[in-house]
Amino acid sequence: MTTPPPTVAEALRRLMAEDTADIPARDVRLLLAHAMGVDQGRLTIMARDPLAHGVFDRAQQLCHQRSLGTPVSHLRGYRDFYGRRFTVNDKVLDPRPETEALIALALRQPFASVLDLGTGSGCILITLLAECPAATGLATDLSPEALAVAKANARALQVLPRARFLVSDWLMGVSGSFDLIVSNPPYIALSEMPGLSADVLQEPRMALTDEADGLSAYRLIARDAPAHLTPGGWLMVEIGPTQGAAVSALFQAAGLDQVCVERDLDGRDRVVLGQKPN
């Protein structure tokens, strides 16, 4: 006699009791919902519904992969950021909520053109273009694979006609001037890498660390970006929570005005910004 499939509630209990019980309950819910093809907010109202054939086995596989350190976003193939869904994989850094602080600050300033350095998934550039329908932008990345993900996201989120993509080592190969230059560069020092969680370590290493003190990219950006800013344009970069003073000093040495450090919603230093003098 064939065993009937478990209900949603039974599946959750079983998944949380198995060998994968060391992963957060929220991740179990997200992965079960993904296997079911529904939003995880519907699990409660569907608690008594039986799962379709094969769904529980799929959820078990996903939870097992999560227990081995694979990020939830890689298992689902997407990450939500600033109200939009971005495709992600192991070629790009996972968009994170902290980066939304950079978006919020950038949107306070008017801009018609934006340059995103080290774009990864494209979440920064694409969000800014989606929020400012008249703006155009250029995204650079050293990884062609990352740019392919970013371009696919731009197409899916309908900003592709206004976005260009360039394989480039920071500003090498970039021409022209921009009202706004933004970046979330690798800011983790080599000495900090052993302390990262297993799922973070599965992301592209070149997007995490400069293999040095965590400030290499900021030195290059502070040196080269001002020449590509229009008068009165802004340079804004995401930073690690201990890097505010060091990056601010680089911006000031580069001749930028109104240099300041802004915090994220958790109260940690998150963005350094400065303006090119008129």
- Any domain includes 243: yes
Highest mean pLDDT among 22-36, 66-80, 126-140: 126-140
Domain count within the chain: 2
Same domain, 100 and 219: yes
Asked whether residue 108 falls in the same domain as residue 12, the answer is no
Whether this prediction's pTM lies above 0.95 is answered by no
- Whose CA is closest to 123, among 170, 84, 165, 164? 84
One domain, residues 188 and 61: no
Structure tokens that stand for 141 in this block:
């990345």
Whether residue 2 is contained in a domain is answered as: no
State the Cα–Cα distance between residues 273 and 257, nearest whole angstrom.
9
Give the other-Cβ count within 10 Å of 169's Cβ: 12
pLDDT band at 158 (very low <50, low <70, confident <90, very high): very high
- Going from the C-alpha of 51 to that of each of 3, 4, 77, 213, 237, the distances in angstroms are 12, 9, 22, 50, 46
Domain final residue pick, 68, 93, 116 = 68
Q: Please determine, for residue 19, whether its predicted confidence score (pLDDT) is greater than 70.
A: no
Identify whether residues 95 and 48 lie together within a single domain. Answer: no
98 and 21 in one domain? no
Residue 177 is part of which domain span? Answer: 79-275
In this structure, the answer to whether residues 256 and 187 fall within a common structural domain is yes
35: CATH: 1.10.8
48 & 169 share domain? no
Q: Is it the case that residue 21 has pLDDT exceeding 70?
A: no
Same domain, 32 and 155: no
104 assigned to some structural domain: yes
| pLDDT per position as a tens digit, 216-234 | 999 999 999 999 999 999 9
Q: Which candidate, 246, 227, 224, 225, places its Cα nearest to that of 236?
A: 225
